[in-house]
Amino acid sequence: MALAIFDLDNTLISGDSDYLWGVFLGEQGIVDKKYYTRENERFYEEYKQGKLDIFEFLEFSLKPLADHPLPALLSWRQEFIDSKIRDIIPQASYDLIAGHRDKNDTLMIITATNAFVTRPIAELLGIEILLATEPEMINNQYTGKVEGEPTFQLGKVSRLDDWLKQNHATLEGSYFYSDSRNDIPLLEKVDHPVAVDPDDMLRKHAEQQQWPIISLRGESDA
């Protein structure tokens, strides 16, 4: 029984949930659409280039959580999942997860996207263990701040190390599936790194390291 770790955005789903949440907020008029769209696009491009300042981004992306009461946020989130997420989960992702489940592997998603957005997606995928950036909450209200270390780049490695210690687990026989250059530090730590529909830099690195390169996207993907 090994640990099977999955990145979420552009790996298990054919899109970026953080970015799409921003699109949804603008479409619904929950945020200023012109400003939010511009900044959302900028941060997403910086992420893809490996140049994202995660704390600047989180100050931007967590503000809507702090600006609205939890019941409204939960209602919007359900609408977001139904309208933006369900149709971009490839069947191949479910099949990959099922293969590891059949081997009694421990399943985990580790993602830089905040847990408010990603927890229901993990539930859709049937994965209970989620390591995500945690928005701070006080008295049932999000504050707009981050609790602990963001799960981004080396932060994924340190958050996973903490989880391993707390659960008396190891990376023996472990897998990690990711699409992004931002995840090379964690890919290099596991026994079985797998590049999934990788960006150009990760593809080049995977080829040099002779890592498997797979695709979870097909003609049936939405």
Residue type at position 144: G
DSSP string, 141-192: EEEEEEES---STHHHHHHHHHHHHHTT---TT-EEEE--GGGHHHHTTSSE
- For residues 76 and 64, what is the distance between their CA atoms, to the nearest angstrom? 11
Residue 221: active-site member: no
Residue of 7, 18, 179, 199 marked catalytic: 7
Residue 7: active-site member: yes
Contact partners, residue 204, CB within 8 Å, separation at least 6:
none
Question: What is residue 113's three-state secondary structure?
Answer: strand
Residue of 9, 16, 105, 179 marked catalytic: 9
Question: What is residue 194's three-state secondary structure?
Answer: strand
- Which positions are annotated as active-site residues? 7, 9
